[in-house]
Amino acid sequence: MSDYEQMIISAERYALGRMTYIVEITVNYILQEIEEDKLSDSCLDIIREDISTAKNLGMDCDKELWLKLLDRIEEVI
């Protein structure tokens, strides 16, 4: 996995469970990278696992974003 993908995972893990604007920014960024096919299945699998096993996805609006990302990842891999 590339350093870039490691940084994407780090950003996702930082934002996961937060209740600030960073959730939307992070999710939208990852979604764009998926559309541009810049993330490997390995990277997406780690993000999928993180979201699936998270105990707290934040407020309802944040949870909606994370689940949107999870759905998109599951479509792709």
What is the residue range of 32's domain?
3-76
Q: Which residues contact 17 (CB under 8 A, 6 or more apart)?
A: 54, 55, 56, 57, 58
Q: Is 77 strand, coil or helix?
A: coil
* pLDDT score at 34: 98
For residue 16, what are the CA distances in angstroms to 7, 24, 36, 37?
A: 14, 10, 22, 22
User: Model confidence over 14-59: pLDDT tens digits?
Assistant: 999 999 899 999 999 999 999 999 999 999 999 999 999 999 999 9
* pLDDT score at 59: 94
Number of independent structural domains in the chain: 1
